[in-house]
């Protein structure tokens, strides 16, 4: 990690109570800052919050929001909620996977795109739903998927 | 203004109301999740942009405001003009100028944006006031009373709507025991799914000797297909806070958390704003409204784990640990967060509390059925015309919700089943549509109320594939602590997949039934215990469909890809629509000539079937 990264990290530790109870919040802040959880950051977290590294690892792999691998600039989330499922979320995912050449959970080599699955984003009335970063796309048609992803 | 005495609130409310009443016309722009995806934030900006340059009598800039979800997501983005209740649907940024010039300036209607209701003979008629639209007409809103009506960021809107008056009433005229008695008498049961009597939970917590007690709110709405709690957290956050503060007074708590799932970033922002502004005005923190009550609330963000909706797992997650449930020989109300007595209620439950305090337990108990009192919010989605947010008295029939409010199945296809209760719930077929919706009836029929997701399925939904889908969710979300859930659900999912591929035998089905019984009995928490429900309930009502997959190697709904082929019949007019829709270019043909599907390229996605207007695509 670079010096600037370390400064960012210190800032996160200073913003939270430095006790084991802050583990999840600290990890969320690191994930938000770096888009994933770098190994050095986890080691530092264990040291500062006084939690065994094994426990930090356990929490990092338990919650779906955390990733131990670097993720892409554009995170494309396909909603796999019930409403989306019965309205063809599988087919949207297929189009996306073949279009980007990666599987769900993976990131393209150039670190541009990551595909993620979400259980439900709570926009069921618009099913099937896909998100590109924070932007929602509703009633997605499978022949339009790649156009939406490549927009902007 | 800091409210440091109970009398001050009434004066402030008068002031807030006066200010609102001085706005002769109000323009409400829905910024709920559905409308927002349709670009309603841009619509609001456009209103402000134009109105900041152009003065119109009776319309101030302040009176054009955002609200939370108004409910009728299928018609969004929505713009509502009060006091007339003019309901503009599918509004685009380009329509804003016209709305301003026609409706706000001249007082005339923009016909094309009005809601159209289909008549029996296939023609339409427009409805102006949304109160007259069937979707709204049959609803009764208690927990959603302010959602879609107020700006969630303005505490003055909430105050004007009667906000914090229940808290004032509680603090000035009720003992903690009286509060608990009122809630018990109202018959309110937990809206998160279990249906446990709220009053009894509070009474248990209050009775235990302890220096610290916690009041937590469960906003981890993890059921796929449910978004009621999201809309309350985003659209009316103060009602949740007020309910929690009243509970804190009743059970003697000084500290609490709202656990919000990771997928709801806007809910976190709006709740945090509400908490800050409640604290600033003296409704949270030390000496609430000048009394001895001290209580404060923090937000805990979830990490995208379904199991964290379970009480003991949620409490572990709040404490900063991995969210694994524990065996509940001792309930969490006795030994909860940090092993202290803890009340954990769902968002909708807390949002209902202020109304019960204000209107009285008897009033609340008179709504709904004897054992399920009050109203329940549902999110209506799936293959239904009027998707959206609905709140109805308990005891109305599923048919009323799906057909009268929901308008029936999409594209007038044949209704097949309704799924309630999320992954732990079940599917009910058409002959169960006249069952009243309450906690006990749905459970008896093999489904459950759950948190309120209601997904409609039509004849193009394969019930085996649906069961497989839910089992897949649960396999992924099982925390892995106990064997029956971790391994059992995995095997159940594997066998179900085998059926959808046409490779299963009747022995496999028997094995699945046995396995289901073991998982239900032997799992540690609710996730595993109810885990086999999606399979058990679909088998109970749709055994024929399972048998068609197993014996005939057919998928009657035309969904399971290994068992179907798509072909174009001679109804084809050669319109080219399916050629444009096919994502893999498997269809060839010319204008006005019969099209053909190349079976080697076809991925069986069904896009051609969906776009064809001439029933020319056969699925066999």
Q: Where are the domains of chain B?
A: 20-132, 164-365, 375-458, 463-550, 565-619
Looking at the domain assignment, is residue A69 inside a domain?
Answer: no
User: Do residue A126 and residue B473 have CB atoms under 8 angstroms apart?
Assistant: no
A99 touches chain B (CB under 8 A): no
The whole-number pLDDT of residue B303 equals: 85
CATH top-level class for B463-550? mainly alpha
Q: At residue B395, does pLDDT exceed 80?
A: yes
A142 and A86 inside one domain: yes
Q: Which helix (H) or strand (E) is B80 found in, with range?
A: strand B79-82
Long-range contacts from A6-14, C-beta under 8 angstroms, 24+ separation: A8/A33, A8/A34, A9/A33, A9/A41, A9/A44, A13/A44, A13/A45, A13/A48
Give the whole-angstrom CA distance, residue A78 versus residue A128: 9
A53 and A78 inside one domain: no
pLDDT in tens, A84-124: 988 889 889 999 999 999 999 999 999 999 999 988 888 88
Backbone CA torsion sign across B474, B480, B482, B486: positive
| Closest chain B residue to the Cα of A93, Cα to Cα | B605
pLDDT in tens, A51-65: 999 999 999 999 988
Kindly state the percentage of chain B with pLDDT values over 70: 100
Q: At residue A152, does pLDDT exceed 80?
A: no
Q: At residue B605, does pLDDT exceed 90?
A: no
CB nearest to B301's CB, from A28, A91, A134: A28
pLDDT in tens, B215-246: 999 999 988 888 999 999 999 999 999 999 99
Name the band, by pLDDT with cuts 50, 70 and 90, for residue B174.
very high
A22 touches chain B (CB under 8 A): yes
Q: At residue B177, does pLDDT exceed 80?
A: yes
Domain count, chain A: 2
The whole-number pLDDT of residue B235 equals: 96
| Closest chain A residue to the Cα of B387, Cα to Cα | A125
| Closest chain A residue to the Cα of B264, Cα to Cα | A121
Q: Hey, is B394 helix, strand or coil? A: coil
A127 touches chain B (CB under 8 A): yes
Backbone CA torsion sign across B245, B249, B254, B256: negative
Average pLDDT over residues B46-55: 92
Residue A70 has a CB neighbour count (10 Å cut-off) of 13
The CATH number for B164-365, chosen from 3.40.50.11540, 1.10.540.10, 3.40.50.720, 2.102.10.10, is: 3.40.50.11540
Name the band, by pLDDT with cuts 50, 70 and 90, for residue A69.
very high
Distance from CA of B527 to the nearest CA of A (A): 15
ipTM: 0.91
A36 and A90 inside one domain: no
Please answer whether residues B386 and B456 qualify as being in contact, where contact means their C-beta atoms are separated by less than 8 angstroms.
no
Q: Hey, is B488 helix, strand or coil? A: helix
The single-letter DSSP state of residue B601 is: T
A-B contacts (CB, under 8 Å): 163
Average pLDDT over residues B272-295: 96
Quick one: CATH architecture of B565-619? 2-Layer Sandwich (3.30)
Residues of A in contact with B451 (CB under 8 A): none
A81 and A144 inside one domain: yes
Are B164-365 and B463-550 in the same CATH fold? no
Max Cα-Cα span within chain B: 82
Q: At residue B416, does pLDDT exceed 90?
A: yes
pLDDT in tens, B517-537: 999 999 998 889 999 999 999
Range of the domain at A42: 3-62
The whole-number pLDDT of residue B262 equals: 82
User: Do residue B419 and residue A82 have CB atoms under 8 angstroms apart?
Assistant: yes
User: Do residue A129 and residue B320 have CB atoms under 8 angstroms apart?
Assistant: no
Give the whole-angstrom CA distance, residue B534 versus residue B422: 9
Q: Which helix (H) or strand (E) is B262 found in, with range?
A: none
The whole-number pLDDT of residue A119 equals: 84
A82 and A144 inside one domain: yes
Structure tokens at B242: 């007020």
pTM: 0.93
Kindly report which listed range (A125-139, B254-268, B336-350) carries the lowest average pLDDT score. A125-139
Q: At residue B122, does pLDDT exceed 90?
A: no
Name the band, by pLDDT with cuts 50, 70 and 90, for residue A82.
confident
Name the band, by pLDDT with cuts 50, 70 and 90, for residue B194.
confident
Range B20-132 has CATH code 3.40.50.300: no
Range B375-458 has CATH code 3.10.20.600: yes
The whole-number pLDDT of residue B10 equals: 93
The whole-number pLDDT of residue A42 equals: 96
Residue B276 has a CB neighbour count (10 Å cut-off) of 12
pLDDT in tens, B465-485: 999 999 999 999 898 999 999
CB nearest to A121's CB, from B263, B388, B453: B263
Q: Are strands B214-219 and B342-346 parallel, antiparallel or unpaired?
A: parallel
Give the whole-angstrom CA distance, residue B297 versus residue B281: 14
Give the whole-angstrom CA distance, residue B359 versus residue B327: 39
Average pLDDT over residues B395-421: 94
Name the band, by pLDDT with cuts 50, 70 and 90, for residue B126.
very high
Beta bridge partners, B30, equal B67
Residue that is written with structure tokens 């058990």 in the block: B536
Residues of B in contact with A64 (CB under 8 A): 262, 303-305
A9 and A39 inside one domain: yes
A17 and A52 inside one domain: yes
A55 and A82 inside one domain: no
Mutate to test the interface with B, among A46, A65, A120 (most CBs of B within 10 A): A120
Q: At residue A126, does pLDDT exceed 90?
A: no
Distance from CA of B473 to the nearest CA of A (A): 8
Mean of the per-residue pLDDT values of chain A: 91
The whole-number pLDDT of residue B306 equals: 86
| Closest chain A residue to the Cα of B474, Cα to Cα | A119
Residues of B in contact with A59 (CB under 8 A): 303, 321-322
> Residue B395: left (phi > 0), alpha (psi -120 to 50), or beta?
left
């Amino acid at each position: 990690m670079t010096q600037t990264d370390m400064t960012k990290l210190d800032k996160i530790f200073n913003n939270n109570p430095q006790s084991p109870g802050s583990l999840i919040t600290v990890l969320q802040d690191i994930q938000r800052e770096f888009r994933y959880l770098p190994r050095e950051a986890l080691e530092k977290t264990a040291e500062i919050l006084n939690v065994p590294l094994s426990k930090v690892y356990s929490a990092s792999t338990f919650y779906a929001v955390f990733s131990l691998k670097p993720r892409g600039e554009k995170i494309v989330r396909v909603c796999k909620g019930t409403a989306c499922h019965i309205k063809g979320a599988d087919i949207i995912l297929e189009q996306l996977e073949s279009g980007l050449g990666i599987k769900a959970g993976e990131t393209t080599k150039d670190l541009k795109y990551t595909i993620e699955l979400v259980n439900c984003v709570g926009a069921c009335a618009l099913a099937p739903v896909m998100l590109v970063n924070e932007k929602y796309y509703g009633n997605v048609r499978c022949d339009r998927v790649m156009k939406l992803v490549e927009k902007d | 203004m800091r409210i440091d005495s109970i009398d001050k609130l009434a004066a402030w409310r008068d002031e807030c109301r006066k200010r609102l009443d001085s706005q002769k016309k109000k323009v409400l722009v829905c910024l709920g999740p559905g409308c927002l995806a349709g670009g309603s934030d841009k619509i609001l900006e456009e209103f402000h942009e134009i109105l900041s340059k152009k003065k119109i009598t009776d319309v101030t800039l302040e009176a054009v405001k955002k609200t939370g979800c108004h409910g009728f997501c299928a018609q969004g983005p929505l713009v509502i003009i009060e006091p007339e209740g003019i309901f503009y649907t599918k509004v685009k940024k380009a329509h804003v100028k016209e709305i301003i010039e026609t409706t706000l300036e001249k007082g005339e209607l923009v016909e094309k944006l009005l809601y159209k209701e289909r008549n029996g003979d296939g023609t339409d008629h427009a409805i102006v006031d949304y109160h007259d639209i069937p979707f709204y007409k049959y609803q009764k809103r208690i927990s959603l009373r302010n959602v879609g009506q107020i700006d969630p960021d303005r505490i003055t809107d909430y105050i004007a709507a009667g906000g914090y008056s229940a808290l004032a009433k509680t603090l000035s005229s009720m003992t903690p025991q009286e509060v608990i008695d009122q809630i018990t008498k109202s018959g309110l049961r937990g809206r998160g799914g279990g249906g446990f009597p709220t009053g009894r939970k509070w009474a248990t917590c209050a009775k235990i000797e302890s220096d610290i007690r916690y009041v937590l709110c469960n906003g981890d709405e993890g059921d796929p297909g449910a978004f009621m709690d999201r809309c309350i957290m985003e659209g009316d956050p103060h009602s949740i806070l007020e309910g929690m503060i009243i509970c804190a007074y009743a059970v003697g708590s000084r500290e609490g958390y709202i656990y919000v799932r990771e997928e709801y970033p806007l809910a976190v922002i709006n709740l945090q704003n509400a908490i800050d502004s409640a604290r600033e005005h003296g409704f949270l923190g030390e000496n609430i409204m000048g009394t001895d009550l001290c209580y404060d609330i923090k937000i805990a963000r979830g990490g995208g784990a379904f199991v964290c909706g379970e009480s003991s797992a949620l409490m572990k997650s709040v404490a900063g640990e991995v969210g694994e449930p524990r065996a509940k020989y001792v309930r969490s109300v006795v030994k909860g967060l940090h092993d202290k007595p803890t009340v954990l209620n769902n968002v909708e439950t807390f949002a209902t509390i202020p109304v019960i305090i204000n209107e009285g337990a008897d009033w609340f108990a008179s709504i709904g059925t004897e054992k399920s009192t009050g109203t329940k919010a549902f999110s209506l989605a799936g293959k239904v015309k009027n998707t959206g947010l609905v709140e109805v008295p308990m005891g109305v029939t599923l048919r009323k919700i799906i057909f009268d409010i929901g308008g029936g199945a999409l594209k007038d296809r044949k209704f097949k089943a309704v799924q309630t209760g999320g992954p732990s719930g079940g599917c009910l077929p058409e002959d169960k549509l006249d069952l009243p919706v309450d906690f006990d009836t749905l459970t008896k029929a093999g489904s459950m109320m759950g948190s309120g997701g209601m997904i409609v399925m039509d004849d193009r939904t394969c019930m085996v594939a649906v069961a497989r889908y839910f089992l897949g969710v649960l396999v992924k979300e099982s925390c892995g602590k106990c064997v029956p859930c971790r391994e059992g659900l995995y095997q159940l999912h594997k066998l179900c997949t085998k059926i959808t591929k046409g490779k299963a035998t009747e022995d496999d089905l028997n094995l699945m039934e046995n396995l289901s019984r073991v998982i239900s009995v032997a799992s540690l928490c609710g996730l595993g215990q109810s885990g086999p429900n999606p399979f058990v309930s679909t088998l109970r009502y749709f055994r024929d469909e399972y048998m068609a997959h197993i014996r005939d190697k057919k998928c009657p709904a035309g969904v399971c890809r290994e068992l179907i082929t798509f072909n174009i019949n001679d109804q084809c007019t050669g319109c080219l629509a399916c050629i444009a829709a096919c994502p893999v270019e498997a269809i060839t043909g010319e204008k006005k000539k019969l099209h053909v599907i190349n079976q080697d390229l076809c991925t069986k996605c069904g896009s051609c079937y969906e776009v064809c207007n001439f029933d020319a695509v056969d699925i066999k």
